[in-house]
Each structure stands twice: as C-alpha cells, then as structure tokens.
Amino acid sequence: MSYLPQNRENQLGSESGHAVVTVLIVIIVGALGFLAGRMIPTANLPGPLAQIAPAATSLASATPSQPASPENPLVARVNGQDITKADVQEMLKHMPENFRQFPEDVVAQIALDQMIGERVIDAQIGNSGLDRDPEVQKELANAQKQIVRSIFIEREVKKAMTDERIKKAYDDYSAGFQKVEEVKASHILVSAEDEQKAKDLIKQLDGGADFSKLAKENSLDGSSETGGDLGYFAKEEVVPEFAKAAFETKVGAYTKTPVKSSFGYHIIKVEDKRERPPADFETAKPYLEQEISRQLYNEIVAQWREDAQVERFDEKGNPVKDEEPQEQAEGLEPDAGEHEAVEPATGEPMQDSSAEAPASEPSAAAPDQASQAPTEPAAQ
C-alpha cells in the first residue's frame, strides 16, 4: 500500500489509473444497474430512503437532445440523433454520490456509452407502441407510487429533523469518543539500500542542519513536498517499526539511528503528542444527520403502523396477532445493512463503545494533516 496519498505511487489521474477506474465503474454499474434507473430521483434521499425507489427503465433517451453549440459540443450521434456534452452532464446529475469520487472524465465516458446503448435500443423499439402495453403501464404506475412514497417519507423525515436532536447526537458522540494517543511527526525516507545515506543525514542533523530542508531534498515519498510532514497518526495507523520509534521519541527530538521498515530507512522527527480530539460539530453534522435520518425513518413508520388499523390473517383466513410496530418498521427499512452508523470524523463505521478506537480514523482537528499519515497496515 502507498505510504502517503500524495506520493508518486498514487497515479489515479494517470492513463493506467483511469483504465483501472473505468473497469471498476463498469463492474459497479453492471452490479447495481444504477444507470438503468437513473430517472428515479433518489440521489438526495437520506440514508435508507434512497433504496426505496425501484430501478425503472430510463426514458431519458427519448428526450430531444439539447442543441449543439460551441459551448455545448456534440459528443456522439446515433442514427442521426445527437448527444451533446450537456446531455451527458444532465445524466451525471442522477448518479449516486459514491460514483462522484471517480475522475469526472472517466465517469462521463461510462455515461456516454450508456446513452449510446439506450439510443440503439430505442431504434429497435421504434414505433412498436410498447409504451401503451398494459404490462409497461403497470410497471410505470408502480414506479410512480414508489417515487411518491420516497419523496413523501423524505420530507417527513426532514420535518422531524431538529437542531436539538442533532446537538444531542453530537454531545453523545463527543462524550463517547474513544481516547487515542497520537503523534505528529515528520520523516525523511531513503531506500533500503541506503542505510549509510540515512546515517549521513542524521550526522547533518546533529550538526544543525534543517530537518525540513533535508526532507525536501532527500525523502523519496510525497511528504518531501511538505518537508516530510506526516501530520497526526495513531500507533495502529502505521507500520510497527515506525510506530515504535515515533512514540518512543520525545517531542522535538529525532531518531538517532535509521529506522528500517518495508519502505526503506526513516529518520523520524516528533513534532507533538496529544490525545485525538473528536470531530468538530460542523464536520460531524452530515454524518450525524445521516444516522438520525435512519432513526427517524424507523420511528415515523413505527408510529404510522401503531396508528393504523392493521389486521393479519393466516392462509386459512383466521386472524393472527400483528407483530410489534417497531419490529415491523425495522423490517420495512430496505437494505438497512448498507447504511450502518458511521464515525463522523471519518465516514467509517461506528465502533462499539467497548471496542478499541478505529485504526483508520483521521484527526478531525487537522484533517489535512491527518490524511497524510502513513497508512500501511500494521500487519505488514
């Protein structure tokens, strides 16, 4: 695994990186069928509600293309029907949030290929009149009902979301935040064949040389651009050899002998030590809202079930006792396992209060620095 997100091994924007990402997106698209259901407005639904809307056949390809112009160039033409850049951009608006982490040009190419496929299918459908087929009409009616349900419950959840509830959730999060010791350090990394160079650099430091300057001139990884700065990290977030040396070195001091790891030889300077702080309110808020939306969904549906007159019968038509409303509400929540509680500071799954602090949780107080901490798994 790369030592730092910014190092030379992280070439997501490169041609090879784009190829890998393209394959990944194609696999995801094939598995989720998202593009086939992109006309269902689910992108802004909170938490599990986004799963309510069904995947329905897109009718977007039947919509006339926006006229091509210098500002809106033509990107494809299928059977004489234009597809412009604006058409592709409109399609991208319906993509789920998790797709937007990929390079825009790669995702746009996938979207364009999907649109071309739609136009090809449309050409085969022609004037078949299938849009008036009873089966199609039934499916469209069902899709419309699902959309209305989704938007209705989304708005009910938003109305029930209060500042007081968010504040209480943040207070609970802060009170239960796990204590994690962190070190803020810089390092100089040289190759595994250059132990003598590492020793020579330590001699220069002993003679008063500037650590940051030496790191910029000699370090092999991406941290060289910032003078070797790695930000804050916990023991579990770095390889064992690096962790041991960093946590045993005093603040303001540097390691007097090279520290060997699977990356090479390190010279480590410790800048600070602290107990990791919880995320501030603004950072935590969107994650807390996601979890509260999930809770409100269960509460609202449970209350509606309690107020409703629900009668259940067995296969012989005999009355049976209804289940508890809360159990029913949870049963109605679609794909709940995909929307587990997340750690506000990181977006990672929440840990049980009795568990150890998560190894991958970056510092909320200094996210720009924490994101640069060494990330090689401790198992290596």
Q: Which domain holds residue 293?
A: 163-174+279-360
Residue 367 lies in a domain: no
CATH number for 188: 3.10.50.40
Does 337 score more than 90 pLDDT? Answer: no
Shared-domain flag, residues 287 and 222: no
Q: Is residue 42 part of a domain?
A: yes
Per the prediction, the chain carries an average pLDDT of 76
**Structure confidence at residue 329 (pLDDT):** 42
Tally of structural domains, the chain: 3
User: What is the reported pLDDT for 279?
Assistant: 92
User: DSSP string of 219-281?
Assistant: --SGGGGGTTEEEEE-GGGS-HHHHHHHHHSPTT-B-SS-EEETTEEEEEEEEEEEEPPPPPH
Q: Is 102's pLDDT higher than 80? A: no
b/e code 271-300 from CB counts within 10 Å (16+ = b): bebeebbbbeeeebbebbbbbbbbebbbeb
- 263 shares its domain with 319: no
The tokens of 264 are what? 């090479």
* Res. 270: pLDDT tops 60: yes
Residue of higher predicted confidence among 344 and 153: 153
211-218 vs 195-206: helix crossing angle, rounded to 10 = 160
- Judgement on whether residues 76 and 143 belong to the same structural domain of the protein: yes
Q: Does 139 lie in the same domain as 269?
A: no
Contact 110, 29 (CB under 8 A): yes
Q: What percent of the chain has pLDDT over 70?
A: 66
Q: What is the average per-residue pLDDT within 121-134?
A: 88
Per-residue pLDDT at 64 exceeds 90: no
Arithmetic mean of pLDDT, 153-166: 95
- Taking residues 181-197, report their average pLDDT: 96
Residue owning tokens 């802004």: 44
In contact, 117 and 34? CB cutoff 8 Å: no
pLDDT: which is higher, 377 or 247: 247
* Mean pLDDT to the nearest integer, 150-168: 95
- Domain shared by 295 and 267, yes or no: no
- Whether 272 and 294 map to the same domain: the answer is no
- Asked if the structure places residue 340 within a domain, the reply is yes
pLDDT at residue 9 above 80?
no
Q: Is residue 376 part of a domain?
A: no
φ, ψ for residue 9, nearest 5 deg: -80, -15
Would the CA dihedral through 367, 102, 157, 325 be positive or negative?
negative
Global confidence as pTM = 0.51
pLDDT at 167 over 80: yes
Are 91 and 231 within one domain? no
DSSP 276-342: PPPPPHHHHHHHHHHHHHHHHHHHHHHHHHHHS---EE-TTS-EEPPPPHHHHHHHHSTTGGGG--B
Predicted pLDDT of residue 63: 52
Q: Residue 4: inside a domain, yes or no?
A: no
